[in-house]
Amino acid sequence: MNSEKLLDFDVIRERLAEVCSSRIAKELASELTPLTDPIAIKTALDETVEAVNSMQMEIEQPIGGTRDIREACSKSRKEIILTHDELWDIYTTLSAYKRMYSFFHSKYTSYPLLSLWIQDMPRHDGLERKFERVFDKKGNLMDSASPKLQHLRSTIVRTKDRIKSDIQAIIHDPDNQKYFQEALVTQRNNRYVIPVKQEYRYAFEGLIHDRSATGATLYIEPMRLVNLNNDLQEAMLAEEEEVRRIYKDLSLAVRKDSNTLMDACERVSHVEFVYGKAALAIAMKATPAIISGAREVKLMNARHPLIPANVVVPTTITLGTTYRILLITGSNTGGKTVAMKTLGLLSLMHQAGLHIPADTGSVLPIFNNIYADIGDEQSIEASLSTFSAHMTQVVRILKVAGAKDLVLLDELGSGTDPEEGSALAVALLEYFRKRGPLMMVSTHYNELKRYAYNTEGIENGHVEFDERTLRPTYRLHIGVAGSSHALSIAARLGVPREVIDYAKQHREGSDHRDMEEVLSDLNEQLRKNQAKERALKKELDEARRMRTQADREKKQLNERRKQILSKAQAEAQQLKQAIRVEGEQIIKELKSQFSETNKTKRQEAITQARKNISGVQVPELEQETRTPVNVNELRTGQTVFVTSLNAVGTVEAIQGKRIQVSVNGLSANVKVADLALASREEMNNLRRKQEAVQPKSRKRAGGSAVERQKHATTELNVIGQTVDEANQNVGHFIDQALMAGISPVRIVHGKGTGALRAGIHQYLKTLPHISRYEIAGYDEGGAGATLVYLK
């Protein structure tokens, strides 16, 4: 059965290949086939979800820059010396592999399935270093690739300079001016020559290498340049041999790593292929379907992916619940075939691990096979009529279709006598019904509509036709059969009115007239109900929008209230801390003023001062209701909220009803009752703090903490200063930061030659209160600035 071609799955492969970033990924796209293993399909869909998230959230993507190195690796195994281009492809590909490895190594938790392909991928750092010693960033073979190559290239440059100098002397010699056709230098047979007039061939001493098309000019190598040209040729031949030797060594290195290179190539190509699926999903505005374990189809607002977005009409298809066969009727060109193809193609895409253009929450089962008989399969060569061609296909499907298959039949029983065709179609549907596959069938026969109404497991559906505009709307409605509207369509296409009237009179005596009228009435009632439904839905959507807006405003108001209270609490806490520091300073001064005889009085004054400071009230935030933890479910490393400390921490140890928790770098033993579940936002904030690995700011007593922080700065610019001047300013700057309790701070020294940066780094090593220092990030100045973390 050629169902994939009938349903245009080959076109989906082509579009997928177009958006894949590498040649091998494009090949994987061209070979994509639907799967039947639920685990494999689920994994493929989830991988695509990760790649979509990456493309939508990450600034830089891990793919790109790889080349197809399979042939180069194969040639290296045969000890064939690789060309410059082949070696450069391997070098650039190694860089791309390294970049991808770094990306997924740092983001394993965000993209676990894709990371599995990369995390144990073989590394080739040694091979990459060999390439780095040979090629520059533009792919040129560097002079320093080997000492011999450097010497030969220096010799070539010096010899060329001597040749050019001698040639210029010959050209500008007044005695030689009459010999030259033009005062220029060119090359023939890789040797420098001068254009000489034909008539002076014997007057100008040298070797003839070529003549012009007219014969008026001879290209002569002056005799004084012969030896220099010979030296140049010898050096260039030696250079070629040395380059060949270097390429041979690199080829042997590639040969040693060829197996692991091929393994890495396969892994990376799979990831690139998944990113291609993600790019296709984004372009189609597609979502992953839910895998149904009960043979249920529920496509919501599904769109055929090959119909332009501004033309396609979304359709909702349900199947496999109360009925297994959906019989679609309605006008020609009304969308019956498109609806069937949409179900078939989206099922194939789903089982190939692709996202489908439908609303989130759409459900599809996994079919063992998808069979389709769609379109006119008339074969002149096989002497088959339309009816015979269709029946041949139906018979093939009939013999193999089972309960876990999907069958799509277009215009069942058409192409022959209507009475016999409808009777045969009913019999075929009954046979399929007993076999149990899920089916979508299109027809114009009223007998089939009646059969569907009266038979369990079969449901009628129709594509809508607007009687007022005499045009199809392409919307699929399930539950009611439709009319073919042949007379209405014929009138719209220009059939004379008298022909239409005659046809209507003839139809009056038809046995199916009553059913057509019933269908027409039902469809008109359906249209009115749908109009009412749309109006109600619009009102409901507006009510939901207003409620959402009200909830959002309420949430914003609460957040603003919390921010104000939090700010007030922080300012009050800071003020209280400042008062405590100031109080201790005053107490220290008081101690020196009181005499020994007034020791008791002095101690009472100190105690009272401290009590007054401790009594300063800090506004408390309203405590939100939190879910207490279950000690039986508590585990080491879990993030929890410590209510007694009003902070988020990490469980370090569980000792009965006492729990050891790390909060802001300090360990505390608390009761289980003091613990509550942390929110997702709090867990993320704690994780970001831990990843930053920033040491606590150092608090120092003495003086006004508020004033010290007010006058302290977090950045020092020493650009243009000498090392001694800069170090003096750096020392003073670090002291201020320590007094103010600020960390980290930034020293801007510029890039330049790097001498100023090196001098400052050497000085920082001698300071006792520095935890560590490092070059600033790209967005903070890069190599032109240093971040200093204080203890």
What is the spatial distance between Cα 294 and Cα 309, in angstroms, rounded to a whole number?
31
Q: Coil, strand or helix: which one is 610? A: helix
Q: What percent of the chain has pLDDT over 70?
A: 77
What is the spatial distance between Cα 376 and Cα 388, in angstroms, rounded to a whole number?
11
Confidence (pLDDT) at 752: 81
Give me the sheet containing 370-373, strands edge to edge.
Answer: 370-373, 406-409, 438-442, 325-329, 458-466, 471-478
Which among 627, 466, 607, 613 is positioned nearest to 531, based on CA atoms? 466
> Residue 607: pLDDT band by 50, 70, 90 thresholds?
low
Looking at the DSSP bridge assignments, the partners of residue 319 are 297
- What would the two tokens of residue 366 be? 């996994």
Confidence (pLDDT) at 765: 87
Confidence (pLDDT) at 111: 94
What is the spatial distance between Cα 47 and Cα 276, in angstroms, rounded to a whole number?
11
Q: Is 741 annotated as a binding residue?
A: no
- What would the two tokens of residue 682 be? 């709090």
Confidence (pLDDT) at 473: 59
- Report which of residues 233 and 583 the model is more confident about: 233
pLDDT in tens, 304-346: 999 888 888 899 999 988 899 998 887 665 578 888 999 999 9
Cis ω before 288 (30° cut-off from 0): no
Q: Give a three-class secondary structure readout of 186-204.
A: EEECCEEEEEEEHHHCCCC
Q: Is 3 annotated as a binding residue?
A: no
What is the spatial distance between Cα 257 and Cα 95, in angstroms, rounded to a whole number?
15
Q: Coil, strand or helix: which one is 697? A: coil
Q: Coil, strand or helix: which one is 594? A: coil
Topology of the domain covering 145-248: MutS, DNA mismatch repair protein; Chain A, domain 3 (1.10.1420)
CA distances to 25, 272, 718 from 64, rounded to whole Å, are 11, 8, 40
DSSP assignment, residue 487? H
- What would the two tokens of residue 69 be? 């190195």
Mean pLDDT of 647-654: 85
**Sign of the dihedral defined by the CA atoms of residues 135, 138, 139, 142, in that order:** negative
Which residues have a Cβ under 8 Å from the Cβ of 36 and sit 6 or more positions away? 351, 366, 367, 368
Q: Coil, strand or helix: which one is 547? A: helix
- What would the two tokens of residue 467 be? 């009687």
Q: Across the chain, what does the average pLDDT equal?
A: 81
> Residue 356: pLDDT band by 50, 70, 90 thresholds?
very high
Dihedral of CA atoms 770, 771, 773, 777 in degrees, nearest 10, equals: -130
Which among 241, 465, 212 is positioned nearest to 332, based on CA atoms? 465
Which among 472, 405, 395, 469 is positioned nearest to 440, based on CA atoms? 405
Confidence (pLDDT) at 300: 94
- Report which of residues 342 and 673 the model is more confident about: 342
Q: Is the per-residue pLDDT at 372 higher than 80?
A: yes
> Residue 281: pLDDT band by 50, 70, 90 thresholds?
very high
What is the spatial distance between Cα 32 and Cα 47, in angstroms, rounded to a whole number?
15
Query: Where do the structural domains in the chain lie, given as residue ranges?
Result: 3-124+257-284, 145-248, 290-511, 532-614, 639-692, 705-790
Dihedral of CA atoms 497, 503, 505, 509 in degrees, nearest 10, equals: -170
Q: Is 335 annotated as a binding residue?
A: yes
Q: Coil, strand or helix: which one is 372? A: strand
**3-state class percentages of the chain: helix first, strand second, coil last, to nearest 5:** 55, 15, 30
Confidence (pLDDT) at 408: 93
What is the spatial distance between Cα 266 and Cα 275, in angstroms, rounded to a whole number?
14
pLDDT in tens, 54-93: 999 998 899 989 999 999 999 999 999 999 999 999 999 9
The DSSP bridge pattern shows strands 458-466 and 675-677 to be unpaired
Domains 3-124+257-284 and 145-248 are alike in CATH topology: yes
What is the spatial distance between Cα 523 and Cα 475, in angstroms, rounded to a whole number?
13
Write down the pTM of the prediction. 0.60
For the segment(s) 290-511, the CATH number from 3.40.50.300, 3.10.450.630, 3.20.20.140, 3.30.56.10 is 3.40.50.300
DSSP assignment, residue 174? G
Q: Please check whether residue 785 is in contact with residue 748, taking contact to mean a CB–CB distance below 8 angstroms.
A: yes
Topology of the domain covering 3-124+257-284: MutS, DNA mismatch repair protein; Chain A, domain 3 (1.10.1420)
Q: Is 375 annotated as a binding residue?
A: no
Residue in this structure with the two tokens 């894949």, named with its chain if needed: 20
- What would the two tokens of residue 680 be? 């997702």
Confidence (pLDDT) at 256: 93
pLDDT in tens, 164-197: 888 888 877 777 777 776 767 777 877 888 888 8
Q: Please check whether residue 683 is in contact with residue 650, taking contact to mean a CB–CB distance below 8 angstroms.
A: no
CA distances to 639, 648, 649, 678 from 690, rounded to whole Å, are 12, 12, 11, 16
In the chain, the amino acid numbered 731 is: G
Give me the sheet containing 206-211, strands edge to edge.
Answer: 186-188, 191-197, 217-222, 206-211
Q: Is 625 annotated as a binding residue?
A: no
Confidence (pLDDT) at 383: 40
Confidence (pLDDT) at 620: 55
Confidence (pLDDT) at 467: 54
In the chain, the amino acid numbered 516 is: E
Q: Is the per-residue pLDDT at 378 higher than 50?
A: no
Q: Please check whether residue 148 is in contact with residue 138, taking contact to mean a CB–CB distance below 8 angstroms.
A: no
Mean pLDDT of 628-647: 81
Confidence (pLDDT) at 486: 54
Confidence (pLDDT) at 113: 94
Confidence (pLDDT) at 494: 61
Confidence (pLDDT) at 704: 43
Q: Is 731 annotated as a binding residue?
A: no
Q: What percent of the chain has pLDDT over 90?
A: 33
- Report for 44-48, 522-526, 748-752: range of highest mean pLDDT: 44-48
Which among 512, 479, 126, 100 is positioned nearest to 317, based on CA atoms? 479
Confidence (pLDDT) at 294: 85
> Is CATH 3.30.1370.110 the right assignment for the domain spanning 705-790?
yes
Q: Is 639 annotated as a binding residue?
A: no
- What would the two tokens of residue 286 be? 């597609």
One-character DSSP codes across 57-72: H-SS-S-------HHH
Q: Is the per-residue pLDDT at 713 higher than 70?
A: no
Confidence (pLDDT) at 710: 43
Give me the sheet containing 666-671, strands edge to edge.
Answer: 666-671, 658-663, 647-655, 639-642, 675-677
The DSSP bridge pattern shows strands 666-671 and 217-222 to be unpaired
CA distances to 263, 340, 450 from 526, rounded to whole Å, are 60, 22, 19
Q: Is 330 annotated as a binding residue?
A: yes
What is the spatial distance between Cα 7 and Cα 347, in angstroms, rounded to a whole number?
10
Q: Is the per-residue pLDDT at 708 higher than 60?
A: no
Lowest mean pLDDT: which of 45-54, 82-91, 368-377, 692-701?
Answer: 692-701
Q: Please check whether residue 448 is in contact with residue 519, taking contact to mean a CB–CB distance below 8 angstroms.
A: no
Confidence (pLDDT) at 696: 43
- What would the two tokens of residue 786 be? 């240093």
Confidence (pLDDT) at 703: 43
pLDDT in tens, 542-570: 888 888 888 888 888 878 877 777 777 77
Q: Coil, strand or helix: which one is 90? A: helix
What is the spatial distance between Cα 669 and Cα 418, in angstroms, rounded to a whole number?
86
Residue in this structure with the two tokens 């690995």, named with its chain if needed: 693
Helix ranges (H only) for 741-790 are 755-764
Confidence (pLDDT) at 296: 93
Torsion angles phi and psi, residue 385, rounded to 5: -80, 175
Mean pLDDT of 650-670: 76
Confidence (pLDDT) at 379: 41
